Structure 1
Amino acid sequence: MKLSIDPKLLAELVAWAARALPARPTAPALAGLLLEADAIDADSGRLTVSAFDYDMSARGSVSCADVAEPGRILLPGRMLAEVARALPTTSFADLAATDTEATIRCGKLDYKLLLLPADDYPTLPAPPEAAGTIDAAALAAAVAQVAPATSRDDTLPMLTGIRLDTDGDGEGDKLTLAATDRYRIAVTDTTWTPNTEGPLSALIPGRHLHDIAKGLGHGIISIGLNDKMVAFTSQDRQTTVRLLDEQFIDYRARVTYDATTTATVDAAQLAAAVKRVALVADRTTAIRLAFTDGEVTVRAGDEDGRGTEALECELKGDPIEIAFQSTYLGDALGAIDGQATIGMTGPVKPALFASEDGSHKQLVMALRVS
């Protein structure tokens, strides 16, 4: 292999693919990034970089200034990412490989990396057929809203996933994402363009989907789906993820109920007040919200210190005081832009936080406090 490439493009592509490298590779080859170079014509070519750990794969391509010798090599992934990030951007980078090592030269900077055995690298899975397309920014925003509600407890795989559902009536364009960690349920509706009729559903590992969403970039993304795998494909990048068991709670029924008391408040202002008041309390201390006509009072603290702040709000129903764990309350408010509607049925019953347009809902467990 021998090629020249813009070092900035190389660094961006390698960094993106390296996010799919396993933390604890089950085989030495899986710690590597696979580089494949092909010539398009006498003056240009393509470099493809891939990562795979059997649960997730990432494959991306970028244009090269010149591919003098096409080839396929496997390099230590994390080391390559560090090297690519360190390359100066004042000149093109030259990459050349022998049977045992690769040389990356950029200006007067020179690196030599030992090759891993490329023949030991597994074949990446073929992506499922495209089920529909979605705007990358819309998908990233929806994932960001529900991802905090995923659990980190791998002993209950269902709780670590983000559920993806479509309305499936053949005409609708609604895509729903949901997550729960038992203490809250987050649900977001967004729009997409389906290619097939009938309902679709999948349970995607939350940490993988969150990482994928952050690296989607801009433009239209194709979503491929079958009973084992989901694929996200842009113009020159593709990621596949193995699905979790499809079992999931009936989240729609749980985020639909009639509240006896409803408060409407600016989400950002209330989130900021919660953050300020919580400065005098530890992370396990409850944040109390006391709703009265025209005002909500935020309180937190113990014998070491107390904080109180009042904000304007609109209240329908009887006054109520309710308490939440600070992180859950902050996540629920942070997922909402503009006005938040908080539906409550009692001081120790879960409360439903909803955006003004109803596209995002989050059911949060209330704390029992004395």
Structure 2
Amino acid sequence: MKITCKRQQLNEAVLNVQRAVSTKSSVPALEGILLKTGENEITLCGYDLELGMTTKIEAQVEEPGSIVLSARLFGDIVRRLPAETVYLATDEKKITSIKSGPADFSIVGIPAEEYPELPAITGETSIRIANNILKSMIRQTIFAVAESDAKPIHTGTLFELSKNKIRLISVDGYRLALREETAACGEETSFVVPGKTLGEVLKLLSDDDTELEIQIGRRHILFQIGNYCVISRLLEGEFLDYKAAIPNTSSTEIIVSTRSFIDSVERVSLLITDRLKSPVRCVFEDGEIKVSCSTSIGHANDQLSAKIDGAGVEMGFNNRYLLDALRNTEGDEVKIQLNGALSPMKILPREGDAFLFLVLPVRLKSEAQI
């Protein structure tokens, strides 16, 4: 294999593809990036048997071929090359020469035959959606994906497709995030995409309204985002019946400035550390939200004005879970619905129902409020 390409394009491709490479594997090839020539282009591929990513960049191909190079070493080399162009050549012993300006490296490669094939998608269902819409949907739900493997299915986000709607749902036992948009999806189907995959897809999505294609197979999903193709296995199992977890009624409704509420919770949270955990106490009544916190190093009190309809209520929350939900609302004001001290807090947009977040309360100790 002999090729010449632009260093900047190669560096960007390696940086992205590298994220799908296995950091530690019993198959040495999986710790590398597969480079394969095409017609005036080179394909780069990273794969860890669960998530795969491929992309193509322009290249002058003098001699076709393929090689697997250590992702860590190749990435470090490309990032530090001095000139605008890069020359790559691989000999029959799989020694790969990388030249750029005065810099010249020789590294040992692995035969491409040892690299596992990416799974093929039998495109049973295919949908198109704008980059910026999918980006917003993932961003507003990924924070509630479970981090522990207690229920592996909840380490992913549930996608529900109907004829004219796409809905994403994440749950982790303490909170729920739901986001829906109008989209022409065709047939009704549902599947669960790993949170890790969505994290990588999120980094590749742009802020414009160009469309990307999603192909859904029986066990795998493929995202075609510009020059990048992300393929992932789907999670199997029984996802939580989230509709049953959403309260249908509320006794208190609050309209509040999102920024003001975030600032207030952040202020009283200064007393909370990994070692000193304590719930944030919120009292909703008389047009005010009183926020307080008490730990062994001190007490903090704050308050902000809000429009409150219904019965007054006092609740406790994990500060991180409450802040995660508020920070992902993407609106100046939010509507909060409560149904007593032990029912989940429901956070909605002031108008419409594009998203819905649930945050479970923490049972407060019965002593008087500080």
Settle same-fold status: TM greater than 0.5: yes
Residue 272 of structure 1: aligned partner: 263
Give unpaired runs (5+ residues) of structure 1: 40-44
Query: What does 1:1-370 align with in structure 2 at a 5 Å threshold?
Result: 1-39=1-39, 45-64=40-59, 66-88=60-82, 90-99=83-92, 100-129=94-123, 131-166=126-161, 168=162, 170=163, 172=164, 174-194=165-185, 197-217=186-206, 219-283=210-274, 284-337=277-330, 338-356=332-350, 357-370=352-365
For residue 246 of structure 1, report the CA deviation from its aligned partner: 4.3
Percent identity, please. 27
The 8 Å contact of residues 8 and 84 in structure 2, kept in 1 or not, is answered as no
Q: 1:13 to 1:191 in 2, by over 3 A?
A: farther
Which is further off, 115-124 or 274-283? 274-283
Give unpaired runs (5+ residues) of structure 2: 366-370
For residue 18 of structure 1, report the CA deviation from its aligned partner: 0.9
The 8 Å contact of residues 121 and 217 in structure 2, kept in 1 or not, is answered as no
Q: How big is the alpha-carbon RMSD for the aligned residues of Structure 1 and Structure 2? A: 1.6
CA distance in 2, matches of 1:303, 1:56: 45
CA distance in 1, matches of 2:34, 2:272: 49
1:182-232 deviations in Å (ceiling 9; x for gaps):
1111111134332xx321111111122122222233532111002211110
TM superposition outliers: structure 1 runs of 4+ over 3 Å: none
The 8 Å contact of residues 281 and 305 in structure 1, kept in 2 or not, is answered as no
For residue 253 of structure 1, report the CA deviation from its aligned partner: 3.5
Q: 1:84 to 1:242 in 2, by over 3 A?
A: same
For residue 235 of structure 1, report the CA deviation from its aligned partner: 3.3
The alignment partner of 1:358 has SS state of coil
1:13-39 deviations in Å (ceiling 9; x for gaps):
111111111233231111111101123
Residue 42 of structure 1: aligned partner: none
Q: Read off the aligned partner of 1:52 and give its amino acid letter.
A: Y
Q: 1:107 to 1:192 in 2, by over 3 A?
A: farther
The alignment partner of 2:348 has SS state of strand
Q: 1:111 to 1:193 in 2, by over 3 A?
A: farther
CA distance in 2, matches of 1:26, 1:298: 52
The 8 Å contact of residues 86 and 99 in structure 2, kept in 1 or not, is answered as yes
